[in-house]
A and B are shown apart, each in its own frame.
Chain A
Amino acid sequence: MANTSVSIKSKMALKKKSNKKGLPLSKDLLRHMHAMMVKSRVLEERLIKIYKAGEAYFWIGGPGEEAFGVPLGLLVHKGQGPEYDYLHLHYRGTPTLIAMGMPMIDSIRLIMNKATDPSTGGRNFCNHYCFPQWNVAPVSSPIEVQYPMALGTAHVQRRSKSRGLSIVTGGDAGTAEGDFASTLIWASRPGRELPLLMTVQNNQWGISTEYKYQHGETNIADRGKAFNMRTAVINGNDPIESYRALESEMNYIRKTRKPVLLEAKVSRLYGHSSATGANLIPEVDCLRDFETLLLEHDIVTELAVKKLWQEYEAEGREAQEKARIEPAPTGESVWENYFVGNENGDWRKF
């Protein structure tokens, strides 16, 4: 996979100085965040088009969460093994992975169930990513199961005394599951606290069920306070606020090796998935708002923005055309990787 994200060294350079017109991040970083947000949005909309054109069976994803997901991806210490950050994402992680450098075509291969799909080989849904070279754990459809798994990678990181941390993401509805409570308990055991960033992207919905009629807590993040955990509630539609909060909380975890629960209030622009139509919904659009802000501050020009969208649109189209003619998994391949090393798992051959 090509590495198109910025390195740690260049990240430092990007944010070294604030721009001159009052925004608290450097122009280069703001432009880069904007570009990654555009790329992620274009990709998600391309995925929806692929679904609606009948070239995929299902779409689910994260358009509307770019202002949170992109900064997260830019701040990840990317690599393989406990010294790097682990990511236990849910199925709205495209912005994060685009920011980390995932090529568009790998997401398109996934939604089109191609044998070339590097995450699952055509076995799983759209946005169910898996990139071991970046410590990205397999995304799973059951809600909230990624939280207790993140305990294990954080446990190993605590033992290895690295600066790596484990990051787990999920939605607001899933916090009703017991796994969320489990993770609060296990992450905050006295003297055994874990270097874990628990995030909740609160879009106020669980498919068609409204958050406000199911949850009495003022903020989900407040639940962390009962465990003496550091918490934060942020406007996840603001990429600048998201970047600064995530940077601060991740630095806190790297330094103290203690957990944080961070809740980001975000939009859900295309509904839950293709099961609910995947049509644009009039909510706050973090990307359009950010674009307006950057234009107002002369950090980008209208021409440059237009060109950016066009370039990513072209990349998405070309990726779709390329993936379309790539091979599908064969029926016979169902027994592959049943056990590690292709040890036989078919009882007929025992």
Chain B
Amino acid sequence: MASMAQAIRMALHFAEENLALKDIFGQDVGEPLGGVFTATQGLKTTWNSPLDERGIIGMAMGIAMAGDRCVAEIQFCDYIFNTIDLLKIAGNTNWVSNGNYTLPMVVMTPVGAGIRGSVYHSHSFDAWASRLAGWKVVMPATPIDAYGLMLSAVDDPNPVLFLKPKALMRVRGDDLIPGEPEDQKELKNRIDAPIGDRKNWKPKWPSLTDYRVPIGQAKVTRAGEHLTVVSYGRHLLLCNQAADQLREQGHSVEVIDLRSIYPYDWQAVKSSVEKTRKVLFVNEDTEVTNFGEHLAYRATQELFYHLDAPPRVLAGKHLPGIGLHPNLEEHSVPQLPDIVRAMSEVLAEVP
């Protein structure tokens, strides 16, 4: 099975060949590195840019304005903050021009903790991103969803922010990418650049086929009856693990992978909460004005009379940064035991 990095790479290759993707660029995106997580190795339209995030976003906006499709990368979301006003403009261009100009562009950036990335390689961006009106924002938890969401993102006429959970970039999924060889080693030999001299290396792409995950469509990853848990990205997998643990104790937890932060699949959340009557939102961005708070607010407002417990948000602590030492990181963002505990507490609520 492909890793998420391989899945993104294959999606970008498919988009180059079939979706008129003309530019994949950013710092270290082109040869020889092919991205710090190898997600852009071997692609034909990649190029390295100056170390200049504002230049990267501005370039992407201009390319989109001229009608070409591009995927721009900010190497870590920790370094995207100096582009906020450009991101706002990209989001409002269609609106403020009253439909005169559209900006079909994708910006991808690794997010979140989990790799001992210290203060400036551990930020999350989903809560910030949810405030960038006019953007679509997606965040996959599995390679197959990364593939399907990337193709939808490249093909979308709006700007799309593709958040890559960096701790999952080398994690393999349970599903084959359409066209992916079943033998993992064969895939590696075909599309992973060799260590060392890569001057003469060319990837041997498998015959990939189209596969879309519609933006705005969630997925139930664990069916359950007693509690709804809504998450995305790295913490979705932790929520799955927590649900499996609790199942052994007789608790039936339904886990929803939101996959898209904006637009989001409220109908999936709503129908699940109406069934389970309890809901927990889990992510690792900081807890004050967290995106989960918006969802919890909405659940309170619209589903109040269906609820047997207050909607709850489990998120990263409102700290200035994530410290490097594991003791610090693990006390800053939710860990598996924290999720199990929070689920248990909500399950134990009696109206």
Contact = CB atoms under 8 A, between A and B. Distances in A.
Interface of A: 81-82, 86, 117-121, 123-124, 130-132, 137-138, 140, 142, 145, 147-157, 159, 166, 178-179, 182-183, 185-186, 189, 336-341, 343-345, 347, 350
A185 B98 contact: no
B273 to A, nearest CB: 14
A182 B62 contact: no
Nearest to A80: B67
B321 interface: no
Contacts of B262: 347
Contacts of A86: 65-66
B100 A149 contact: no
Given A339-B158, A341-B157, A130 B100 contact: yes
B97 A350 contact: no
A132 B103 CA distance: 13
Interface centre among B89, B100, B265 (most CB of A within 10 A): B100
Contacts of A132: 97, 100-101
B58 A138 contact: no
Contact of B98 (A123, A151, A154, A182): A123
B94 interface: yes
Contacts of A152: 58-66
Interface stretch (B47-55, B174-182, B238-246): B47-55
A151 B263 contact: no
Contact of A337 (B54, B67, B95, B216): B95
A149 B55 contact: no
A138 B134 CA distance: 15
A259 to B, nearest CB: 14
B124 interface: no
B68 interface: yes
A182 B60 contact: no
Nearest to B25: A155
B57 interface: yes
A145 B63 CA distance: 15
| Interface range on chain B (Cβ under 8 Å from partner) | 35 or more
B22 interface: yes
Contacts of B216: 350
Given A120-B98, A132-B100, A137-B65, A151 B54 contact: no
Nearest to A350: B266
B96 A148 contact: no
Interface string B280-317: 00000000000000100010000000000000000000
Contact of A82 (B66, B85, B95, B101): B66
B263 A344 contact: yes
Contacts of B62: 148-156, 166
Given A147-B58, A153-B65, A185-B52, 6 more contacts: A132-B101, A138-B93, A140-B96, A148-B61, A152-B66, A186-B59
A350 B61 contact: no
B307 to A, nearest CB: 19
Contacts of B57: 148
A157 to B, nearest CB: 7
Contacts of A153: 62-63, 65-66
A189 to B, nearest CB: 7
A137 B101 contact: yes
A339 B54 contact: no
Contacts of A82: 66-67
B133 interface: yes
Contact of B58 (A81, A117, A182, A340): A182
Contacts of B55: 148, 151, 182-183, 185-186
Interface string B157-198: 110000000000000000000000000000000000000000
Nearest to A338: B95
A350 B268 CA distance: 10
Contacts of B207: none
3 A-B pairs with least C-beta separation: A152-B62, A148-B58, A121-B98
